[in-house]
Structure 1
């Protein structure tokens, strides 16, 4: 139960980071190298699987 919730929460955090980058609030390079590597790895895996959830959608959201 917690592991499913944790996985979902991690995905939400990834989408928030993507939104912040997309809206020029932060740059990927502002994050520590280890975080950059993990984000890019997860994004690459999702793209290969074709199962990107896109929980925030493509809209320009103001957070």
Structure 2
């Protein structure tokens, strides 16, 4: 049961980290190097997926 909520909780945690950094409560460099690497990898992956989805949406906009 707990494992099924892990992906959603991971996303909430990422969003919380981004909010705290944006508000200056914490700094990205406060995290250990390993955590920084994981956060950067997830941000890059999320950005790449977002770009792909935008490309798909732009191409389909005139079909409906």
Structure 1 unaligned segments of length 5 or more: list them.
52-63
Q: How many residues align?
A: 51
RMSD of aligned alpha carbons: 1.6
Q: TM-score, normalised to structure 1's length? A: 0.73
Q: TM-score, normalised to structure 2's length? A: 0.72
Following TM superposition, the consecutive aligned residue runs of length 4 or more in structure 1 with deviations greater than 6 angstroms are none
Structure 2 unaligned segments of length 5 or more: list them.
52-64
Bigger fraction of residues in helix: 2
Q: Which has the higher contact order (CA 8 A, sep 6+)?
A: 1
